[in-house]
Every structure is written in structure tokens, then in C-alpha cells.
Structure 1
Amino acid sequence: MTRLSNPELELLKCLWRHEVCSARELHEGVASALDWSYSSTRKTLERMVEKGLVGESKHHGLNVYRAQVGKVATIAELSRDFTRRVLEIEGPLPVQAFADSRLLSEREIEQLEALLQSPEADEQP
């Protein structure tokens, strides 16, 4: 997976919460996290479409966006990257670290634990 920028992650989190959003809805959804212009949101969305992170379609003549990457798989990859690259920890991150997440449901935490514990996770660079 391509390393995500902070704005890309914020836009994905908004899409994971709402499933489908217009650019304006996304801009308003990330306004508290990103202090930037609407045109910056649009440009970032265009790049995300090109990267395959987000899909774009028309709905009643309006461009709408949907995440093309899964929330749990993306969080697992980001977590593995952080623990290895930043914390220099080999092996899985304890799932307790995600217990108070407002982004993940209990079921998603269980799925995340399975991904983080899988042997394939240790083989990735």
C-alpha cells in the first residue's frame, strides 16, 4: 500500500464513516482536522482517485466518492509500519492499543487483531 499523507487519511476516515460523500461533504467533514481550502480537498481527492484509494462516480449529476481501500486492512498496514519504522518493534502490536478507538467497532478490532497476528504480516517489508 502507498504510504498515506495525513490529509488522505482524514478523507478516508470520513469516507469510512459515511461510505459515500461529495467533495463538499468531505471538505466539511474534515474541516476541524484540516485547516485548508475546498480546492485543496478537491486536488487531494483527484490524487487519491489516481492512486486507487478512492473511487469517483456520478450521483444525480454530482461527483461522489467512496473508499476503495478497507478500513481494517489500512489500519493494520499503518500500524505495522508505525511499530516497525517508528518504534522499531518487530512482531504484532497488542490489540489493546485499539480498545478505545472511536473509528473501530468491536468486530473490526477483532478483524484487526487477526490481521496483525497473521504470519503474513511479519513477512511484509
Structure 2
Amino acid sequence: MVLPATIPSPTELSLLKALWRDAPLSARALHERVEQELGWSYSSTRKTLERMLDKGMVAQESAAGIQVYRPLLEKVGTLAAFARDFGQRVMEMEAPLAAAMFTGSKLVDADELAHLDRLLHDWPEDTP
């Protein structure tokens, strides 16, 4: 598994979550899914997608004559990176966070939760 080189920003994460649920999506369809949460314009969604393309977080392809996006970052690995960063940087913890903190999440199912738990406990030592 490839762990994210950089942790997505909160707005990038919002776009990724929508893509993890429903990819592929056009920029317009993606904007409609995040518009209320982010409260921003369509042009802001487009600009963020361009930055995410440059960072290798999403891919753009043509489908039925329109440009659509799909995530390149794997959901569970990205969530593990967020959890690890939060535990270390925010909470100043050296031990891994328990995946149980994600129980009840609408974002992960039971299999993904088990995978997340393994990632958090077996995190490579040489990654930030």
C-alpha cells in the first residue's frame, strides 16, 4: 500500500470523501456534493481539483465526453495517515491511536475498520 506523501487539507479531504463514495464524478457533480459543507463557489472546487491533480491525489479522465475525477489516494491509508498525524502532532502521543475511535463512522465499514486498525499498529517507522 502507498501511504499518502502529504496529508490532504480539510477541503481536499471533503472532495476525496465524495469521490470515495461516488467516483467517478464530474467537477460539477463533485461540487454539488460538497457545496453545502464547504460553502464555496464552483470555481473554488475546480481550483482545488487542479491542485489535487498536481499533487497526485486524483486522476482526471474522459467518460461519455465529459471530464471526470477519481481518487488516487486509498481511503483507509489516507485515514490512517490523518489519525497518525493527529495522534503525534496534535495529541503528542507516541503510541498509535485505537481504530475503535472510528467505530460508528459512516465513512468506513467493518472490513475497512479492521484494515485501519492494522495500519495504525503496523505503521512503517520511517514515514512522517
Q: Percent identity?
A: 48
Distance 1:48 1:14 in 2: 14
Superposition RMSD in Å:
1.0
Q: Which runs of 5+ in 1 are unaligned?
A: none
Matched to 1:116, the amino acid is L
The 2-side partners of 1:95 and 1:36 are apart by 32
Distance (whole Å) between structure 2 residues aligned to residue 41 and residue 119 of structure 1: 32
Residue number among 40, 49, 61 corresponding to 1:57 in the alignment: 61
Residue number in structure 2 paired with 1:23: 27
Deviation digits for residues 61-102 of structure 1, max 9, x if unmatched? 110000001000000001100100000011110111010111
The residue that corresponds to 1:100 in the other structure is 104
Give the TM-score of the pair, scaled to structure 2: 0.93
Instruction: Give, in angstroms, the shift of residue 119 of structure 1.
Output: 5.0
Corresponding pairs, count: 124
Question: Please, what TM-score do these two structures have when normalized by structure 1?
Answer: 0.95
What is residue 124 of structure 1 aligned with on the other side? 127
- The answer to whether 1:4 aligns with 2:15 is no
Q: Which moved more, 1:63-72 or 1:24-33?
A: 24-33
Q: Which segments of 5 or more consecutive residues in structure 2 lack a partner in the other structure?
A: none
